[in-house]
Structure 1
């Protein structure tokens, strides 16, 4: 399709994380446990109190059915991924809480990432949430409500024994996910700057999964890794005390919930629901459960 279809990283996070049998818990792809694109997952029960005034802002079909049909691509831990045959993650917790505040239940369909925006426009889904960066190109076709901010974050071994400084990466060996923005857009100019200054270049080891990139750091094959901020934070959390975040998050960009373009008051209802779950603590819980607190936002504008 004409729109950019990538998240901030192009590939999914999955696989063995570290020696000692540490894994990214439940990290998977559409093929796990017999689940295929199109498989649905019903939202778990939530204690968020419904707001009837917000429900009245939804399309009549959603009010009548009591179901918010949500498209996602469950291959991107910790934001949305499969745990057995259940779709779980930070984004899933957020949209479940939003749906509960709206007085409906979220019903998820696991689909190809590049089909989701078209699916919302074609009314196959009432909404989509799948780590979508908000871009001008996307806003030409759909409405988006901001709910998170992701950037690039580095990690290194606990205690930073190699004195890793993301602002001075010359001579470092680093792991990344193949095809990620970190590999394609971030590191090349940094490497060129190093060599232009007569300093050692950056040795980049790309891996097909972000979990394998983290495993390379844990096992000492590299001195650092970098990835999308929530993905890095999740990898650090999963390794216990073996890794730590280093440096600040940079190149941040907002994520947005996808809704039909000009879909009446729906986007405003979702925005207000996000404001309410931020007040009652559900939003913060969704962040902390997945180690993504650094990307929390305080405002939830429509089409920022």
Structure 2
């Protein structure tokens, strides 16, 4: 060390010695706080073509599901990044880790509960929509026989219509229902407007919204409650952390009155605690 120092300028030698001395010190940094004050971003898949549940307004997600999910995660210091995805790709996307959760007016069924976990949050049924000036005014399932009915692909609606066709039409010697599937609900109603389908079969709340949006060019004529159901927020099977976080946020909204306010705003129906208990018990038993 002395030989090397003699060959260098006094300033350079001093810097070198200081540097080596510094390298010999062990510096202990303060442990990082694992709890960040920055809000976490949660990715949520949703089909933004299904008003009043979710749709685009001024290039931004809007609707009951959007407001609900945003408030649910706000209670735990998180924000939501909604990913617009067609309905049939939502559960596969969740299973493929593209989202942390899914909300899209999705029915709770035994088949879905085999793949994912679902948190009940609204109830509804289905309605049939036709052109207001049409002579065709279907009221009950038998009235759909021999007709072309438009509906949303990937939903339970095609299966329901095929079930009606088999049990209420073919079994009674009537003509089968021709089911036309479209990627989105607006495309299905457009088929009715273009007279490419006799009617549309859809969620009642969605059908009501379509009637208003189209200034009564279409109307709901059905009087039957076809397949009453309860809808659920979807999380990956076994993801208890996300499930509990959503459930807790939803309960806080119910306690504060925010949930009831949103239900009223979007003209939806809230299931009672007893209805949820009974429905989920039956669905889980079958799954």
Q: Give the TM-score category using the shorter length.
A: 0.5 to 0.7
Residues 238 and 288 (structure 1 numbering): CA distance in 2 closer, same or farther, change over 3 Å?
Answer: farther
1:81-119 per-position Cα deviation (integer Å, ceiling 9, x unaligned): 444542333211110121233444333344662222342
State whether residues 152 and 228 of structure 1, in contact with CA within 8 Å, keep that contact through their aligned partners in structure 2. Answer: yes
Matching of residue 244 in structure 1 with residue 226 in structure 2:
no
Specify which structure has the higher proportion of helix. Answer: 2
Matching of residue 283 in structure 1 with residue 259 in structure 2:
yes
Residues 158 and 275 (structure 1 numbering): CA distance in 2 closer, same or farther, change over 3 Å?
Answer: farther
Among candidates 182, 189, 202, match of residue 227 of structure 1: 202
Q: CA deviation at 1:147?
A: 1.3
Matching of residue 197 in structure 1 with residue 197 in structure 2:
no
State whether residues 70 and 129 of structure 1, in contact with CA within 8 Å, keep that contact through their aligned partners in structure 2. Answer: no
Runs of 4+ residues deviating >6 angstroms: 60-63, 300-304
Q: Once superposed, what is the RMSD of the aligned Cα atoms?
A: 4.0
1:116 maps to: 94
Instruction: Quote the Cα distance in structure 2 between the aligned partners of 1:203 and 1:152.
Output: 18
Matching of residue 149 in structure 1 with residue 123 in structure 2:
yes
Instruction: Quote the Cα distance in structure 2 between the aligned partners of 1:260 and 1:209.
Output: 24
2:11 maps to: none
State whether residues 176 and 183 of structure 1, in contact with CA within 8 Å, keep that contact through their aligned partners in structure 2. Answer: no
Instruction: Quote the Cα distance in structure 1 between the aligned partners of 2:69 and 2:205.
Output: 17
Instruction: Quote the Cα distance in structure 2 between the aligned partners of 1:151 and 1:93.
Output: 22
Instruction: Quote the Cα distance in structure 2 between the aligned partners of 1:212 and 1:127.
Output: 26
State whether residues 62 and 68 of structure 1, in contact with CA within 8 Å, keep that contact through their aligned partners in structure 2. Answer: no
1:33 maps to: none
Matching of residue 88 in structure 1 with residue 71 in structure 2:
no
Query: What's the TM-score, normalizing by structure 2?
Result: 0.62
**Which structure would you say has the larger Rg?**
2
- The answer for unaligned runs of 5 or more in structure 1 is 1-59
Matching of residue 66 in structure 1 with residue 42 in structure 2:
no
Residues 164 and 138 (structure 1 numbering): CA distance in 2 closer, same or farther, change over 3 Å?
Answer: closer
Residues 141 and 157 (structure 1 numbering): CA distance in 2 closer, same or farther, change over 3 Å?
Answer: closer
Q: Give secondary structure in 2 for the equivalent of 1:232.
A: helix
2:25 maps to: none
Q: Give the total of aligned pairs.
A: 239
Instruction: Quote the Cα distance in structure 1 between the aligned partners of 2:175 and 2:115.
Output: 45
State whether residues 130 and 218 of structure 2, in contact with CA within 8 Å, keep that contact through their aligned partners in structure 1. Answer: yes
1:123-145 per-position Cα deviation (integer Å, ceiling 9, x unaligned): x7554334444455655665432
Instruction: Quote the Cα distance in structure 2 between the aligned partners of 1:185 and 1:102.
Output: 38
Instruction: Quote the Cα distance in structure 2 between the aligned partners of 1:139 and 1:61.
Output: 34
State whether residues 141 and 224 of structure 2, in contact with CA within 8 Å, keep that contact through their aligned partners in structure 1. Answer: no
Q: Give secondary structure in 2 for the equivalent of 1:194.
A: helix
1:267 maps to: 243
Matching of residue 105 in structure 1 with residue 79 in structure 2:
yes
